[in-house]
Structure 1
Amino acid sequence: MPKRGGGRMRNWKADNDHFEHDDRASNPRRVSFKPGTNKGKNKFNSWKNTAKLLLDDDVDMGASGGQGPRKPYRGRGGRLGSPAPRSGHGITKKKFVAGMLPWYQIIIPYGAKHDKDVVLRALLDHISPEIFIPHYYKINGNAAVFYVDDVKIAEKLFHADRKIMMSDGFKLVVIVRNTVPNVNVDADMKEKMKLVMAKRYNAATKALDLTKFHADPDLSEIFCALFRPVIMLAAIDIIAENIPDLEALNLNDNKLHGLEHLKILSTKLKSLKILYMADNRIPFLGSLDPLKSLPLVELYLKGNPLLNRFNDHDIYISDVRKKFPKLVRLDGVDLPPAIGFDVSEDVTLPPRQQSFLIDPAGQDLVREFLTQYFAIFDSESRQPLLEAYHESATMSMAANYLTNDNRNMPATRLNQYISNSRNIIRITERESRRRYLRTGKLQVVSFLSDLPKTTHDLMGFAVDLLVFTPTMIVLTMNGLYKETNTSGSPTRSFHRTFVIVPNSGGGFCIINDMLYVTNTTKEQEESAFKSGMPEAIPPTPAPTPTPAPAPSFSNDHQMLLNTLGQQTGMNEHWSLNCLQETGWDLQRALFIFNQLQSEGKIPPEAFIK
């Protein structure tokens, strides 16, 4: 009488790839769980570390995956390594573990004893109503081997192990491994790929359809999955060589994951404007960064995991458009027009101006107003500014650092400003926002008086007059100033906006004042207070210059010279020096003249004609 469970273990022989012994349903196998007998367990220790290698290089078809090594069984009161109980007496059911690769190798030991159609029909009947396509079905020794590209099918086949009774009384053994076939991209393979692409190309629309490329019937004998970078790069080379003007490419359902190697598309296929990549495995929107250089107008991404990361479809559209600004169609839906400037790409912009006036008639008013305001602001007392503000004036200040490094240097700290900063991104409570808003001219001037004493670089001002009407003036300016009573006299950069309205006395006053303060850049530091007028308006009297031949000017310069002389009363020599020092900017020249004139720094000789 044979021993219970006396059947021998199945043995996969590495030399000829076939199984040594049949596994009959009527003869249960005897399984050994002795420690140290599982010689292949080290293959699993580095599985996760080699996943990338498996994707980028050829893979051994015998590599293990999906199932880990079985652990020794310890029965109740028994020793380690004792035989495991038979089914139904405590043995753990095999569990399918999805692998990292999108392909699964199916091994049917002794599958060579049956026709291909018989084996496949038995498997299809068992997992019905599911169906699958067996890729690269081959006979290795006495085993049948094929591949599937669907994890759900792989799991069903995994659980079909020893559950299908064949006509000869044997139960079909099914082994599932997470691995991809070996591949060698040679000239013969490239030629076959080229022929398949030729039949999938539409010359009328310059479109190439590579949907589920590996499943093409003409490629049934070779492994040609585009998710493998080496195969995808070979496909791109074939396209670039034969269809360099390709405009539309369909890569749907190719199990694409990493796209870093696709950055060459922008150099190989410069005319590509339409790209379909639906039903792949693209995990993040950032995975599309290698494609940002493509001038895409249409993109299809449905069926990728990246869409599950967006709860708001509008945010999804916005983020995709940031990467592909020319996109007009996404996932089969026309996008609304992008918000932007309706100008051509090669438009020539007007030259940059130091200052801008919406209405030249406001020039004198702006010059006079700013001259008086900053003369008081930079003085010892700012109390006279009470006359410059409306009774119901409001004022707010915001401050921020250019970089975090500025916080650590004593000379660049903004402690005196940050504590009073009304940064509404940082201050979210309504009551706090109200507290940092100064209302009424007494509060405004009191707040300004507490700020550090300053000296502004008047020559470096950039002033813009944005609104100039009888009832409202909006004035903005950018510039630099130094703190005169702070250790080290640090230089600050500021932006200020004044909203000015008529007052009851017939003049003008500030109804709203917004100030922003930050650190200066290195370039601003180097240019600060470097554009003064020491030669044009010296601090001490100078002898009248010896008459010299009148220089020749262009008509525009001569007109500016005459205008400055008429409005200031200075002679031609001083007016010329003033304009030359300010880069022939009449507004700046007038502004500086009024500032220095109010301080008594212009000598009488400047007015001798």
Structure 2
Amino acid sequence: MPKRGGRIRNWKPNEHFEHDDRIQSNNTRRVSFKPGTNKGKNKFNSWNNASHLLLDGDIDMGATAGQGPNRKGFRGRGRLSSPAPRPASKKKFLPGLLPWYQIIIPYGAKHDKDVVLRALLGFISPEVFIPHYYKINGNAAVFYVDDVKIAEKLFYADRKIAMSDGFKLVVIVRNSVPNINVDAGMKEKMKLAMAKRYNPATKALDLTKFHSDPDLSDIFCALFRPVIMLAAIEIMAENIPDLEALNLNDNKLHGIEHMKILSTKLKNLKILYLGDNRIPYLGSIDPLKPLQLVELYLKGNPLVNRFNDHDIYVSDVRKKFPKLVRLDGVDLPPAIGFDVSEDVTLPPSQQSFLIDPAGQDLVREFLTQYFAIFDSESRQPLLEAYHETATMSMAANYLSNDNRNAPTNRLNAYISNSRNLVRITERESRRRYLRTGRLQVVSFLSDLPKTKHDLMSFAVDLLVFTPAMIVLTMNGVYKETTVAGNPSRSFHRTFVIVPNSAGGFSITNDMLFISNTTREQEDTSSSSAVGVAGPGPASAPAPAPAPAHDETQRAILATLSQHTGMNEHWSINCLQETGWDYQRALFIFNQLQSEGKIPPEAFVK
């Protein structure tokens, strides 16, 4: 230690300073300075001070607490106190938000590029890395790596690699990306690099790890930077507008909002690979939804790991891209839906659909008998219509909340027994609302309000017609006859019918849905009711059809005569006895026919 006020000796030419880490002899006298001495003099730059090298936006990756320029080298307050430095805290590597890291080797210019890289590779072996954009900046060597794992290993290589001249290599790691300037020269280089990656036979462009292309080693061309990606898309649109397949795997992509222009620039794009990138959420790919993709590759992105169920992942992706047939290299099962262009004209709708016209008469007879009994005073005879192990469920819901305001529109008689699966989520409750066995089914039906169905409003679809099973659905309108105001209801019903041992048919499954009628249904029902209104019951047989009967009555007469086989005289008599109520007339006929009370002459034509 020099005496206070003494002269500082001159440095010899062979002595070093700054980061001189060569091993010193034990006999060498060390030099130390007290705090506050030599203010303004002999200020030596140190590469440990990160502020000398920080660029705009750079982030120092080391936690260097206690190593700043203001740290004190002595404890105590006396002038002659002995130095007692604090133990140096270990620096920790802090991963950055960006996928690129700047590596700075102070005084790296003293060594050849190969020497520096060989020393670093030897330290982190067996790991290897590609030094991007290596250059000499002053007396420092600077390059970039695009791997956080490599950046961390290089971070901990600081002052642990002894070079041939005795110095230990200083390694500074910062989270930073190279400066970019997308000019005409850069676009030309990108164009040439893309040209050799394009396959005209398949109209496919492979831009996998584009920034590592040897032809782009002297420029920063990372496609995760929006300005560079947009430049690449412009080059594609200008030179290969009919591009059908694009591979963007392993390009550090994260936010891809700017890529929504793909749908307008590359309208023929059908295959897109985005694997091994950094896309965080499935919603992040929403900008690509306008693309009519048939194949998509997302494996290797964080968004895939957010799904515990692979089937849900596939389903959610297909919701965004309905035409997808291949995902992550795996063929998908055919999607359920319609794949038609917007200009296709759909066939005209029809009242009913029959899978087999041969089932028309059977279905008509079955429904006529069923609803004649359903609308009668007692529904107990329906026991013969259901199978011993039949099941039934009923659900009810309002078309809108406004329908609940009017007393006649309220569905209180149905809502309390409704098996609405959206409302009832517990398994036990769902089981309780399911009626099993024909006794439970008919007992439940008997408790529903009395009705009168409008058969003219029915639309029936025969979906399955085989010797072993019949499946038919219908919708229509009915009125509640025992409720004030006789409110109208709309219903949809599905029957599954199977043959029984007696040679007839039985319902094995019955699903009923009830709601309020629409305005259109109410208008149609009102006009139908007016049309079927006729004279009151008559005790004497009516003569043959008179011209006074309107077209609706003649249609009802023809239908009843065809279904029952009775001649017009007896058919008119039956209709007039029931006030031209077709359903009631058919019910009475079936009841009298089963009792053998209809004479043979009723069938003579």
TM-score of the two chains, using structure 1 as the length reference:
0.69
- For residues 320-352 of structure 1, the C-alpha deviation after alignment (integer angstroms, 9 at most, x for no partner) is 45544544544445x265266899868765432
- For residues 393-416 of structure 1, the C-alpha deviation after alignment (integer angstroms, 9 at most, x for no partner) is 624214265799699979787665
* DSSP-derived class of the 2:392 partner: strand
Residue 600 (structure 1) aligns with: 579
For residues 577 and 286 of structure 2, the distance between their equivalents in structure 1, rounded to whole angstroms, comes to 59
1:157-306 → structure 2 map (5 Å cutoff):
157-306=154-303
Shift of 1:442: 3.6
Do the aligned residues in 1 keep the contact of 2:475 with 2:491 (CA within 8 Å)? yes
Do the aligned residues in 2 keep the contact of 1:247 with 1:272 (CA within 8 Å)? yes
Bigger Cα displacement from structure 2, 173-182 vs 96-105: 173-182
* DSSP-derived class of the 2:507 partner: strand
Counterpart selection for 1:63 from 49, 58, 62: 58
* DSSP-derived class of the 1:191 partner: helix
Do the aligned residues in 2 keep the contact of 1:500 with 1:512 (CA within 8 Å)? yes
For residues 388 and 319 of structure 1, the distance between their equivalents in structure 2, rounded to whole angstroms, comes to 47
1:396 aligns with 2:392: yes
1:515 aligns with 2:515: no
Residue 18 (structure 2) aligns with: 22
1:322-401 → structure 2 map (5 Å cutoff):
322-333=319-330, 335=331, 338=334, 350-360=347-357, 362-374=359-371, 376-378=373-375, 381-386=377-382, 389-390=385-386, 392=388, 394-399=390-395, 401=397
Structure (1 or 2) with the larger CA radius of gyration: 2
1:525 aligns with 2:518: yes
Residue 447 (structure 2) aligns with: 450
Do the aligned residues in 2 keep the contact of 1:298 with 1:328 (CA within 8 Å)? yes
For residues 403 and 503 of structure 1, the distance between their equivalents in structure 2, rounded to whole angstroms, comes to 38
- The residue type paired with residue 334 of structure 2 is A
For residues 245 and 393 of structure 2, the distance between their equivalents in structure 1, rounded to whole angstroms, comes to 53
- The residue type paired with residue 305 of structure 1 is P
Do the aligned residues in 1 keep the contact of 2:370 with 2:385 (CA within 8 Å)? no
- The residue type paired with residue 575 of structure 1 is E
* DSSP-derived class of the 1:139 partner: strand
Do the aligned residues in 2 keep the contact of 1:396 with 1:437 (CA within 8 Å)? yes
Do the aligned residues in 2 keep the contact of 1:388 with 1:509 (CA within 8 Å)? no
1:130-149 → structure 2 map (5 Å cutoff):
130-149=127-146
Shift of 1:368: 4.9
- For residues 15-47 of structure 1, the C-alpha deviation after alignment (integer angstroms, 9 at most, x for no partner) is xxxxxx833326899999xxxxxxxxxxxxxxx
CA 1:215–1:488 in 2, change beyond 3 Å: closer, same or farther?
farther
TM-score of the two chains, using structure 2 as the length reference:
0.69
Unaligned runs of at least 5 residues, structure 1: 4-20, 33-58, 543-567, 604-609
Shift of 1:495: 2.1
Do the aligned residues in 2 keep the contact of 1:225 with 1:254 (CA within 8 Å)? yes
- For residues 416-436 of structure 1, the C-alpha deviation after alignment (integer angstroms, 9 at most, x for no partner) is 54553456785665x766654
Do the aligned residues in 2 keep the contact of 1:536 with 1:577 (CA within 8 Å)? no
1:471-490 → structure 2 map (5 Å cutoff):
473-481=470-478
Do the aligned residues in 1 keep the contact of 2:389 with 2:437 (CA within 8 Å)? yes
For residues 506 and 32 of structure 2, the distance between their equivalents in structure 1, rounded to whole angstroms, comes to 97
For residues 24 and 404 of structure 1, the distance between their equivalents in structure 2, rounded to whole angstroms, comes to 83
For residues 25 and 369 of structure 1, the distance between their equivalents in structure 2, rounded to whole angstroms, comes to 102
* DSSP-derived class of the 2:162 partner: coil
Shift of 1:238: 0.6
Unaligned runs of at least 5 residues, structure 2: 4-16, 23-29, 36-53, 537-543, 564-570, 583-605
Bigger Cα displacement from structure 2, 221-230 vs 491-500: 491-500
Backbone CA RMSD of aligned residues: 4.9
1:478-557 → structure 2 map (5 Å cutoff):
478-481=475-478, 493-500=490-497, 510-517=506-513, 519=515, 525-532=518-525, 533=527, 537=531, 539=533
- For residues 167-214 of structure 1, the C-alpha deviation after alignment (integer angstroms, 9 at most, x for no partner) is 444333222121222222222222221122122222333222212111
Identity of aligned residues (%): 65
Do the aligned residues in 1 keep the contact of 2:398 with 2:404 (CA within 8 Å)? no
- The residue type paired with residue 94 of structure 1 is K
Counterpart selection for 1:153 from 150, 153, 164: 150
1:129 aligns with 2:108: no
* DSSP-derived class of the 1:527 partner: helix
1:95-134 → structure 2 map (5 Å cutoff):
95-134=92-131
Aligned length: 516
CA 1:263–1:377 in 2, change beyond 3 Å: closer, same or farther?
same
Do the aligned residues in 2 keep the contact of 1:460 with 1:529 (CA within 8 Å)? no
For residues 31 and 151 of structure 2, the distance between their equivalents in structure 1, rounded to whole angstroms, comes to 26
